Amino acid sequence: MLTIVIIAVIVVAVVAFFVVGRGRIRAGGGRGLKHRFGPEYDRTVADHDGDTKAAEQELGERVKQHGSLTEQPLSPEARAQYTAQWADIQEQFVDSPQKAVTEADALLARVAKDRGFPGEQFEEQLAALSVHHPDHVRGYHNMHMAASGQSGTEEMREAMVEARSLFEALVTEQPNDPAPDQDSPQSSKPPESPDGNGHAPWALNRRHAKGSST
């Protein structure tokens, strides 16, 4: 009888050990994913109706599929061309907001594809971008939704402003850019903007109008 009790206690202890251990592993993985994805973690949880486990499984799959992706550099010519195209789209927004948002969505997809992100399906491209640019993908998502549906002018404007951060990151951040020299007097200076005038040409202000300066 005593032997049976001892065996039962051992079995219970072993089961409890594995349950607690798995819980700790899951919690650690969740914290890691939340730290890595930031706002995208919360958005994914919301998409899964608050199911944290399902959201973390999806995010884990994104890392597994796209974590080893190597971003490709853009040529100076391509960077200048894309910057000019975004500026042109910004000008169109005043007269044709829906058309401008649709074209900006397509342009951002092309830039992402040129940087090495899959470009056949939006969801796949967004998933890959979220692994490498988690702080910026919300704007791309919102702009794509605005381009696909019937959004108000203010919603479309806000979507383009949000998406600008991802566009800026993809156009200006290149994998072969040299790291700044910490001892150099110029290391404390902000990077030169693509238009050379101290501001980004793709900025879209609330009161933006043709001929106005940003």
Mean pLDDT of all residues belonging to the chain: 77
CB 101 within 8 A of CB 147: yes
pLDDT grade, residue 201 (50/70/90)?
very low
Residue 201's SS3 state is coil
Q: What are phi and psi of 58, to 5 degrees?
A: -65, -45
CB 129 within 8 A of CB 117: yes
Task: Please state, in angstroms and rounded to a whole number, the distance separating the CA atoms of residues 204 and 6.
Answer: 72
pTM above 0.75, yes or no: no
Residue 21's SS3 state is helix
User: DSSP class of residue 189?
Assistant: S
CB 93 within 8 A of CB 160: yes
At residue 38, the pLDDT reads: 82
For residues 21 and 148, the model is more confident at 148
Cα 114 to Cα 74, 86, 109, 130, 163: the distances in Å are: 7, 16, 9, 16, 17
pLDDT grade, residue 4 (50/70/90)?
low
- Condensed to tens digits (0 to 9), the pLDDT of residues 35-74 reads 888 888 988 898 898 899 999 999 999 999 999 999 999 9
Instruction: Give yes or no for residue 206 having a pLDDT over 80.
Output: no
- Condensed to tens digits (0 to 9), the pLDDT of residues 79-132 reads 999 999 999 999 999 999 999 999 999 999 999 999 999 978 999 999 999 999
Instruction: Give yes or no for residue 149 having a pLDDT over 60.
Output: yes
